[in-house]
Structure 1
């Protein structure tokens, strides 16, 4: 739905990777906060699956951002994409650390 809205609102600067990446950032951040507050720990498979998904979304984000790097006047798209990429890297790393710790406990 977010991707469709971006195609309608910004047809000339549509970026089909920002919506899935944004959904992943919100979902992963929510999962990390939920996991940190729970007393009983979830199995390591949850964090491993989210880490793998994060790597895939990161690859899609970088691939979609690459053509915009050489477009003059696309500073807003580049800035937003680079900020989103940084958030993806940080969250994926945090998920990987969480998964590693959960595996070490097992």
Structure 2
């Protein structure tokens, strides 16, 4: 899969599941963090389609890495509270984020070897 497609899927997942978490958590403002990251990644996504736009690619990778690390605390919080639906939401966001990150790394390695 191309990095821009994986990033697009990740951005939509972060936005939709983050918005759901925001509503489900009685409008806790911290639940909007994945939404904000998703919107920024979505805005940068057209730059990923261009093969020579390394700045956009590196920014998206940095944001993707940060959100992956940032989702660890919500995961532990949902595990401690026993919120199974919340836990599934966070795990799905982490999986799509990790998939996007792996796709970027593979793309970088492939471009480096050319």
Stretches of structure 2 that go unaligned for 5 or more consecutive residues are 1-14
* Structure 2 match to 1:101: 110
Stretches of structure 1 that go unaligned for 5 or more consecutive residues are none
Matched, 1:61 2:106: no
Inter-partner Cα distance in structure 2 for 1:49 and 1:18: 16
Q: Which has the larger radius of gyration?
A: 1
Inter-partner Cα distance in structure 2 for 1:66 and 1:101: 35
Of 24, 27, 30 in structure 1, the residue corresponding to residue 42 of structure 2 is: 27
- RMSD (CA atoms): 3.4
* Structure 2 match to 1:49: 59
CA contact (8 A) 2:21 2:86 kept: no
With normalisation by structure 1, the TM-score equals: 0.63
CA contact (8 A) 1:58 1:89 kept: yes
